[in-house]
Amino acid sequence: MRAFALLGAAWAYRGFIMGSVRREFQAKYGNAMLGAAWTLLQPLAMIVVYTVIFAQVMHSKLPGNASTFAYSIYLCAGILTWGLFAEILARAQTMFLDNASLIKKISFPRICLPIIVVLSALLNFAIIFGLFVVFLVLSGTFPGLVFFTILPVLLVQVLFAVGLGLLVGLLNVFFRDVGQLFSIVLQFWFWFTPVVYPTSILPEGIRALLVYNPMAAVIGAYQTVLVDARAPDWPSLLPVTVAALLLCVLGLRMFRRRAGEMVDEL
């Protein structure tokens, strides 16, 4: 019930949340000559580089898939979705420290901060992923209606990132080394996740360890849909779904207990 009370408080401040998301977006591109056009040009350049370099120049192939763009799609599906996860965590681990003056001067539900982080990250992701979908359509590789099965995968991914980010962000207020350490962990985590390489090339012993990596199942689900045009392996997503829910509950409980102490630490 307390979780619903927190969400209710956030809903009452929805104007503050949406205004903060809009200001962040404007601040990021407001002083640039091309303005918001950079939100399209940067991801477009990345997609073009991946498809041209890997598909046309290096002729990279995905094992078991003869499509010209298979590896490029596999790579984009992994990198774009990992980027969302990494952005939420990177911003969440410093969200209370970055807004210390705001927290001290203005009375508002502190739960608004992680919501602002998630909405800002989702806005950036929607722009870049939307361009990727346009590429899929133009190249004739759009997977069809099965594409919409990525929506529950996205929900699980966001919940997992929010729960973990909330815990790391809170711990980072009281122990500043946590943020630095987690940044290093995130780098190793990326390479332990099949983002840029297919799992089939890994030795059997290493491949077996991927079951302990929650993001391996999430990234694999996106790649299955976008490359193979098949629905995700739903049972493989069950552990990360349970972990996401547990992290969210634990994060919210710690948030309620430490919110007062957090102001003193800041």
What is the tens place of the pLDDT at every residue in 62-113? Answer: 766 767 778 888 888 998 999 999 999 999 998 888 888 888 777 777 888 8
In a domain, 181, yes or no: yes
pLDDT at 3: 61
Burial status of residue 50 (CB atoms within 10 A of its CB: 0-12, 13-18, 19 or more) = buried
Residues 71/60, Cβ–Cβ less than 8 Å: yes
In a domain, 132, yes or no: yes
In a domain, 32, yes or no: no
In a domain, 58, yes or no: yes
Q: Cα angle vertex 61, ends 57, 66, to 5°?
A: 120
In a domain, 25, yes or no: no
What are 16-65's pLDDT values in tens digits?
A: 888 888 888 777 666 655 555 666 666 667 777 766 676 555 555 676 67
For the chain, what is the domain count?
Answer: 1
In a domain, 24, yes or no: no
Assess whether pLDDT exceeds 80 at residue 214.
yes
Assess whether pLDDT exceeds 80 at residue 147.
yes
What CA–CA distances, in Å, run from 68 to 47, 75, 200, 245? Answer: 15, 13, 19, 39
In a domain, 105, yes or no: yes
Token pair in block for residue 112: 């608004």
In a domain, 31, yes or no: no
Assess whether pLDDT exceeds 80 at residue 159.
yes
Residue type, 254: M
Provide the residue range defining the domain that includes 161: 2-18+37-265
Token pair in block for residue 108: 């508002």
pLDDT at 43: 66
